[in-house]
Amino acid sequence: MNTIDSKDRQILDLLQQDATLQVATIAEAVGLSRTPCWRRIRELEKNGYIQKRVALLDRTKLDLPITVFVAVKTNQHNAQWLEKFRTAVNSLPEIVEAYRLSGDTDYLLRVIVKDIEGFDTAYQKLIEQVDFSDVSSSFSMEELKFTTAIPLN
């Protein structure tokens, strides 16, 4: 399955809105019978279009209301430093996203914490493990949009 058709896209769109939907519900919504719909879902999983199914949690109800974006700059652009950085990032559960960027900032991290002290603790752990030339943190004041759904048009 190298390409997907409009039915597959409809199935993916429904699943990314609610991964708990029953096959019968999805099949009816996209105009298929249950068995062909189930086969399509299995193929989409097998071919990596569906990576995993997860539950999205409410950060504020779990007392983790603070989002911090951390811009990282380094003057060490080598495989050894990158592996050390990758290991450090993966060791800190507070870092929920990490990206290597083009432009002035080398890496961007998204950190979720309870409070400023929680961020400082995570920050201290990070800088213990890796050397940076510059680190800049920005605290999110308001979340204007958040979605895990990718556009399938």
- Mean pLDDT, consecutive 10-residue stretches, the chain (153 aa), reads 89 96 98 97 96 94 98 95 97 98 97 98 97 96 95 88
- Does the residue 61 lie in any domain? no
Q: How many C-beta atoms lie closer than 10 Å to residue 62's C-beta?
A: 10
pTM: 0.88
Q: Are residues 122 and 77 in the same domain?
A: yes
* CATH code of residue 36: 1.10.10.10
Which runs of E-coded beta strand occur in 74-133?
Answer: 95-100, 107-113
Q: Are residues 75 and 123 in the same domain?
A: yes
Phi, psi at residue 26, to the nearest 5°?
Answer: -65, -45
Give residue 153's pLDDT. Answer: 79
- Does the residue 144 lie in any domain? no
Count up the domains in the chain and report the number: 2
- Does the residue 130 lie in any domain? yes
- Does the residue 117 lie in any domain? yes
Q: Are residues 120 and 74 in the same domain?
A: yes
Instruction: Retrieve residue 31's tokens.
Output: 């105009």
Instruction: State how far the Cα of 150 lies from the Cα of 153, in Å rounded to an integer.
Output: 9
Share of the chain above pLDDT 70, in %: 99
Taking the CA atoms of 15, 21, 22 and 27 in sequence, report the sign of the dihedral they define.
negative
* Residue 131, domain extent: 66-139
Q: Are residues 73 and 125 in the same domain?
A: yes
Q: Are residues 15 and 70 in the same domain?
A: no
Contact 67, 142 (CB under 8 A): no
